[in-house]
A and B are shown apart, each in its own frame.
Chain A
Amino acid sequence: MKITFPAMGHMNIAVKSLLSGLKLDVVPPPPISKRTFELGIKNSPEFACLPLKINVGNFIEAMEQGADTIVMVGGWGPCRFGYYAQVERDILEGLGYHFKMIVLEAPDSRLPDLADQVRNLGENVSLGEAIKAIRFAWHKLSAIERLERRLDYVLPRAWEKSQAEMLYDRAIADIDAAENWEQVRDLARHAEQALGALPLSKETPLKIGLVGEIYTLLEPAANYDICRLIGRMGVEVCRSIYLTDWLNDHLLGGLVKKSVRRHLRQYTYPYLNHWVGGHGWETVGNAVQFARMKCDGVIQVGPLTCMPEIVAQSILPSISAREGIPAMTLWFDELSATAGLVTRLEAFVDMIQRKKLVNYEQVKEA
């Protein structure tokens, strides 16, 4: 059995490590490329959302490399994601591939259930080994996120931006390859020190909160690497979703750390008074939170036609007006282009810069 899975940002590294820990033969999806997009677009329904198309591309490329089993997660709506696995299976079978698809239906499950499901995936692993694999994957993910936060801080301030990116990229690749916990810890520590030692500008950069649909937020290929684009403009990105938080809330029932989701309620009222599937509710809550944290702007990202994000987008103008924060929505689909994106980002950054100066001068005059 050669097992593969859909790509989603750094989740790849964790899933790969988890499945190997279960003594499975893993074929990670090849890095998302133009070809991945093309394969996905050609074979998916025209109006499907982008993550589904990229999944399909991932699966085809992984199967070309010998994968014969796919793990996917399921769900029960209200959004399309809960039906991804079924449609993807139909598409791939229609293309003549032979494979087994394992769908983890684990929306509200608790840690023991998950451990069980994960263990059933593996071949002859004890519960102890399964738990060890989960913990190791978790370690890698946490280490990566620590570095990510570090980079988000350093990149806008660093004089040598490519240096910072290089240090980070190398550390991520090394962590991906690391075989034990101590290695991960040391690698992360070294990289953090190296990033910390870079000469930084003393000026406080503008801050932009990034909110939106989770896949688009987490998968650089789906957002044209927007975090780096913003960082390179000398603006600091504040992320709204970290994978460890999300997994903690959704799979682990808040077991590992305090839920970040619960406190959002104070921000969503009176703007959006019900969950709407996907991340629509979180987008609204996070946008308000960023406004109150005095970020200089909010950018919402999502795949074109994403239903929960359209709900959130409709509400964003009133948040912008009442909380006094400039906001912009960026939709991504297979036709988006980096050039257009950079232009829009620059215009937005210019605008918030001017707004900040005006406010500053008002304060001075007063």
Chain B
Amino acid sequence: MRVGIPRSLFYFYYFPLWKTFFEGLGATVVTSSWTNRQTVECGLLSAVDEACFPIKVCFGHVKELCSQELDFIFIPRLVSVENRSYICPKFMGLPDMVRALIPGLPEIIDITIDLSRNSRALEKDLLKVGRRFGKDRRVTRLAYNQGLAEWRQCIRLCRQGYTMAEAVRIWDGEEVTLPAANSLNIGVLGHGYSLYDRMISMNLIDRLRQLGCQVQVVENLDQALVEAKAGEIPKRVFWTLGRKAVGGALLLDSQPHVDGIVYLACFGCGPDSMIGEMISRKVYRKPFMMLTIDEHTGEAGLVTRLEAFCDMLQRKKAINL
């Protein structure tokens, strides 16, 4: 049996988990290609105009998978990955949106991942998936636990300076080398599925590295410290990625060796509109730049802004030395 996993959205955080899980059930996992021009164009055609760029891109990936011989396509309903927090309303309706707008889909595995209260419902869903592959309780549990173990390995890799996406690539057998120590130290924040998708972010992270920056993303930081900083906000931020971004920004702001902070937001993104606002108000020690992008953003403009920002940081650093 072949299961397709779109290389978008949750892929950038959870691919190792689900790949291991499905392989543990005896399936072959097929992914779409890395986002490219064609993915974007397909996505723009199939999603509604008002959707945010990452969702459109996801539609492009699903479209691509539709042309393959698949038994299933995995589009989970990612409601919540931790206690009393969410990702985004659009993630909660993703399988239904895809089903309504993309004809000719293979059967969708759309289990609901909602850990906002407990994991019981998820476990039930997982067992149901296992049964579709003819596997019993024990095998399914084992596959899932193995998946979790692989995923944790990636999280550990991140602490060595890799982004989550790079960790996933290393896990998947690719070789990734981090650039040697650089002169500027920049914190880069945003939703991983836009930040780490080289098409969506126009290769933001590598560009910064080429400009002589050591890049830090939220997964590189000590998670306990990130949470502690996020806890300083009067009302708990109920978006998981948003909370980490706020905590990460405050933490980076307080670290002497950090030179500047960049936040990558998407046009029309709900959480970004609030989180970006909060961060730009609360970060006061370091220079802060907010980049807002969508499918119409020109690469040249982005490069110019990045260069100007880095120049400014270099000059600032020279004065302070």
A82 touches B278 (CB 8 A): no
Residues of B within 8 A of A276 (CB): 89-90, 92-93
Per the 8 Å Cβ criterion, residues 32-69 of A in contact with B are: 45-49
| A243 beta carbon closer than 8 Å to chain B | no
Q: A79-B89, A83-B238, A307-B89 are in contact. Are A49 and B50 (CB under 8 A)?
A: no
Size of interface on B: residues with Cβ below 8 Å to A: 42
In the complex, are the beta carbons of A48 and B274 less than 8 A apart? yes
Residue numbers in B under 8 Å from A310 (CB-CB): 48, 50-51, 90
Choose among A47, A94, A307 the residue that contacts B90 (Cβ–Cβ < 8 A): A307
Residues of A271-307 whose CB lies within 8 A of B: 271-278, 280, 304-307
Interface members, chain A 227-286 (any B CB < 8 Å):
271-278, 280
Interface segment, B4-12, B95-103, B199-207, B219-227?
A: B95-103
- Contact among A272, A306, A331 with B93 in the assembled complex (CB-CB below 8 Å): A272
Which of these binds chain B: A109-117, A123-131, A313-321?
A313-321
B100–A78 contact, CB under 8 A? no
Which B-chain residue is minimally distant from A273 (CB atoms)? B96
List residues 58-110 of chain B with CB under 8 A from any CB of chain A: 77, 79, 84-90, 92-93, 95-97, 99-101
Cβ-based interface call for B235 (8 A):
yes
Find chain B residues with CB under 8 A from A275 CB.
92
A229 to chain B, nearest CB (A): 22
Contacts known (A77-B239, A274-B79); A305 close to B268, Cβ less than 8 A: yes
Which of B48, B87, B269, B273 contacts A314, CB < 8 Å?
A: B48
A76 and B238 form a contact (CB under 8 A): yes
**Complex contact A278–B89 (CB within 8 A):** yes
Residue of A nearest to B114 (CB): A274
**A189 contacts chain B at the CB level, 8 A cutoff:** no
B213-238 residues with Cβ-Cβ distance < 8 A to A are 233-235, 237-238
Tell me the minimal C-beta distance from B296 to chain A in angstroms: 15
B150 CB-CB contact with A under 8 Å: no
Residue of A nearest to B98 (CB): A314
Closest to A77 in B: B238
On chain B, the residues within 8 Å of A271 by CB distance are 96, 100
| Bound form: Cα–Cα A72–B178 in Å | 48
Asked if A308 is at the interface (CB within 8 A of a chain B CB), the reply is: yes
Contacts of B270 in A (CB 8 A): 49, 79-80, 305-307
B89 engages A304 (CB within 8 Å): no
Chain A, Cβ-Cβ closest to B268: A305
A86-B234, A90-B281 as given contacts; A315 in contact with B97, CB under 8 Å:
yes
Quote the shortest CB–CB distance from B100 to chain A (angstroms).
4
C-alpha gap A168/B310 in the complex (Å): 62
- Smallest Cβ distance from B66 to chain A, in angstroms? 16
**Would you call B112 an interface residue if the criterion is a C-beta within 8 Å of the partner chain's C-beta atoms?**
yes
List A contacts of B269 (CB < 8 A): 47, 305
A318 to B233, CA, bound (A): 42
Residues of A within 8 A of B271 (CB): 80
B136 on the A face (CB < 8 A): no
- Identify the interface centre among B95, B97, B292: most chain A CB within 10 Å of its CB: B97
Docked pose: A77 CA to B88 CA in angstroms: 9
B267 interface residue, CB < 8 Å from A?
Answer: yes
Q: Is B273 touching A48 in the complex (CB atoms < 8 A)?
A: yes
The reply to whether the CB of B276 lies closer than 8 angstroms to some CB of chain A is yes
Residue A311 is within 8 A (CB to CB) of chain B in the complex: yes
Interface residues of A in 66-97 (CB under 8 A from B): 74, 76-80, 82-83, 85-87, 90-91, 94
8 other A-B residue contacts (CB within 8 Å) besides A78-B238, A311-B93: A82-B238, A86-B278, A274-B79, A274-B92, A305-B269, A310-B90, A311-B96, A314-B96
Residues of A at the B interface (CB closer than 8 Å) are 45-49, 74, 76-80, 82-83, 85-87, 90-91, 94, 271-278, 280, 304-308, 310-315, 317-318, 331
